[in-house]
Amino acid sequence: MLIIRAFFTLAAALLSFQIAKAQFNRVDYACVAFFIVGTLVVYIFYLISRLKKTPLRTLLGGFTGMIVGLFIANLLLRGAPFVDLFDNPRTSFTLYLLVYSLLAYVALEVGLKKGDEFDLIRSLITKKCDDQEKIVDTSVIIDGRIADVCETGFIEGTLIIPQFVLHELQLVADSADSLKRIRGRRGLDILKRIQNQATVQIHITEEDFPRIKEVDAKLVALAKKRDAQILTNDFNLNKVADLQGVRVLNLNQLAEALKPLVLPGETLDVMVSKEGKEPMQGVAYLDDGTMVVIDHGRQLVGETAKVIVTSVLQTTAGRMIFARRQNGS
């Protein structure tokens, strides 16, 4: 593609050189035409590459703004008495061209900046009053629990998948590390599974922030732009989003809140899996991953035992249960 563009640019510049030389019979004019046309063609190719990355709503906003600017310029110049003061037609034409160009450019800039705020069709058709969009990050896709939560109906509505998140997920799936590659491909399978569910809709957006390099910062910027929530299990992203006023749905916090409540004095049936750090201690785990430290449970490693809860310790890393052997176990 680059070779084709270079060939087209050179051909257009050479053609303009020949036309200018034949028209004015001066080499200096022909060189100026060569330079101007070549630069113009390069700039046009640059604009095309930028337009490919620009969301459709932004393009529509810019086009609408330019049309409005030209319309306003026409109204102003149609009844402007000062235009007739110039006897020279070239001066009048220059004034017309200046006013039209200036107003069209200003309106174009405003339309490009405000185009994202006028997504009325999507708002009227797809957005309900109680349906706030949720932007999904890479970590929660790879984790996989989001598919199960969506199937239960606790998460519904529209899930926004940014293109830069898909790109990051694809990089993980193509990683040379076999473990990362498995996780990435599992994440792609999870997305396919969510797409087949009736309770949620998947919307892949091309919106990006080229000046922002970090994916987490892009997610926060997109959430603020769309007034959406972020669905994640990344602790650091959770904190950054909270600081910037973006609401976060953290699956790890949900899982922690859904853990069954265990009180001192209750009896548990657990499988003692290994020895503890302290002498005579045994360690077991509940189905949700909660660690149970059993006093005098070292002899029970590899066995199922009944234990009595003595205390529960809540830490930043999670919950830890302390227990003792039930008499006769």
- Sign of the Cα pseudo-torsion (279, 256, 201, 234, in order): negative
Answer whether residue 82 shows pLDDT above 60: no
Q: Write out pLDDT tens, residues 273-304.
A: 999 888 889 999 987 778 899 998 888 898 99
Q: What is the pLDDT of residue 130?
A: 46
* Out of 86-90, 171-175, 207-211, least confident range: 86-90
Question: Are both 302 and 245 inside the same structural domain?
Answer: no
pLDDT value of residue 92: 64
Question: What confidence score (pLDDT) does residue 195 get?
Answer: 86
Indicate the number of domains in the chain: 4
Q: Answer yes or no: do 238 and 181 share one domain.
A: yes
Residue 284, domain member (yes or no): yes
- What pLDDT score was predicted for residue 33? 80
Residue 123 lies in a domain: no
On whether residue 138 sits in a domain, the answer given is yes
284 close to 270: Cβ distance less than 8 angstroms: yes
Residue 118 pLDDT? 56
**140 in the same domain as 93:** no
Helical axes 235-243 vs 215-226, angle rounded to 10°: 40
Asked if the structure places residue 36 within a domain, the reply is yes
Which of 53, 72, 87 finishes a domain?
53
Residue 241 lies in a domain: yes
Q: What is the CATH number of the domain that holds 218?
A: 3.40.50.1010
Distances (CA, A) of 241 to 146, 249, 256: 19, 11, 20
pLDDT at 271: 92
The mean per-residue pLDDT over the stretch 173-184 comes to 89
Question: Could you tell me if 63 and 165 lie in one domain?
Answer: no
Per-residue pLDDT, averaged over 204-226, amounts to: 90
Query: What kind and span of H or E run contains 122?
Result: helix 120-125
Residue 81 confidence (pLDDT) above 80: no
Looking at residue 39, what is its pLDDT? Answer: 86
pLDDT digits (tens, 9 = 90+) for 6-64: 888 888 888 888 887 787 777 887 888 888 888 888 877 777 777 676 776 677 777 78
Mean pLDDT of the chain: 81
Q: Is residue 262 part of a domain?
A: no
Whether residues 105 and 61 fall in one domain: yes
Residue 37 sits in the same domain as residue 78: no
Q: CA–CA separation, 287 vs 231, rounded Å?
A: 24
The answer on pLDDT for 129 being more than 50 is no
pLDDT mean over 74-99? 64
Q: Which of 1-5, 50-54, 216-220, 322-326 has the lowest mean pLDDT?
A: 50-54
- Looking at the domain assignment, is residue 3 inside a domain? yes
Choosing from 199, 222, 257, the residue where a domain stops is: 257
Q: What is the pLDDT of residues 239-274, one digit of tens each?
A: 999 999 999 999 888 887 777 778 898 999 999 999
If asked whether residues 7 and 30 sit together in one domain, one would say yes
Region 70-98 average pLDDT = 66
Most confident range, picked from 69-83, 183-197, 255-269? 183-197
pTM here is 0.52
Query: Residues 152, 248: one domain?
Result: yes
Residue-level pLDDT at 294: 92
Domain boundary among 257, 275, 290: 257
pLDDT the model gives residue 131: 59
Q: In this structure, what CATH number is given to the domain that contains residue 282?
A: 2.40.50.140
Q: Work out the average pLDDT over 190-209.
A: 87
Distance CA 216, CA 186 (A): 21
Pairing of strands 318-325, 304-315: antiparallel
Q: Judge whether 124 lies within some domain.
A: no
Tell me the residue range of the domain where 41 lies: 1-53
Instruction: List the one residue out of 212, 225, 216, 213 whose CA is nearest residue 113.
Output: 225
Q: Same structural domain for residues 193 and 310?
A: no
83 against 29, higher pLDDT: 29
Same domain, 41 and 78: no
